[in-house]
Amino acid sequence: MTDDLRGVVSFIGVGSNMDDPAARCGEALYCLSQVSGIKVLRQSSFYRTEPVGFENQDWFINAVAEIRTVLTPHELLRAMQQIEDMMGRVRGSRWGPRVIDLDVLLYGQDVVENDELVIPHPELHKRRFILEPLCEIASYAIHPVFGVSCRGLMERLDDDSRVCLYRTNGEPCLA
């Protein structure tokens, strides 16, 4: 079996709303692709997303990457935290502004729940800013707890926050 075929297909959420967020998301995706044991298979478009939870802050840029990894879920988490630290992430208030945020959304069909890590991501099925980019690249992916595809989760979504494709030419979001 070749290295390209080994490992677990996983999905990583990427987000930023500080210090040129689109550039920060691109940098994080590049850094992710440089980690030994991770192969980035594809990534969604960038989306401009309304803040959720703490609304008095700049809008975010969000994306999702599909990866194949031989790292365990906890090793993957540590690798992502190292990228966040290297990029200057300061862990502050929940849902507050951040230079970069990397989250394990799905790790194959595994369910992990401990003090350090919860997979699938506990907000995945509730958040448009996660489901829009995830559905762009993997609408067929099945939530291992609910047994529903990402497209099915999107159809049942009760989140009316605004999410639209990010326009690099500066045109405003129409959503």
DSSP assignment string, 49-104: E---SS-SSPPEEEEEEEEEE-S-HHHHHHHHHHHHHHTT----STT---S-EEEE
Residue 112 lies in a domain: yes
> Using CA atoms, how far apart are residues 19 and 25, in angstroms rounded to an integer?
10
What does the mean pLDDT of the chain come to? 91
Active site residue 98: yes
What would the pLDDT profile of 147-173 be if each residue is shown by its tens digit? 999 999 999 999 999 999 987 766 666
Residue 56 lies in a domain: yes
Active-site entry in 103, 127, 156, 159: 103
Q: Give the domain CATH number at 83.
A: 3.30.70.560
Give the global pTM. Answer: 0.93
What is the structure's pLDDT at 7? 95
In sequence order, the β-bridge partners of residue 11 are 66, 106
> Using CA atoms, how far apart are residues 8 and 70, in angstroms rounded to an integer?
6
Whether omega before 144 lies within 30 degrees of 0, making that bond cis, reads no
Q: What is the largest CA-CA distance in the chain?
A: 50
Active site residue 128: no
Structural domain containing residue 103: 3-165
Backbone angles phi, psi at 21, to 5 degrees: -55, -40
Residue 47 lies in a domain: yes
Active-site entry in 68, 98, 127, 128: 98
Domain count, the chain: 1
Average of per-residue pLDDT across 14-22 = 94
Residue 24 lies in a domain: yes
What would the pLDDT profile of 80-129 be if each residue is shown by its tens digit? 999 999 998 877 767 678 899 999 999 999 999 999 999 999 999 999 99
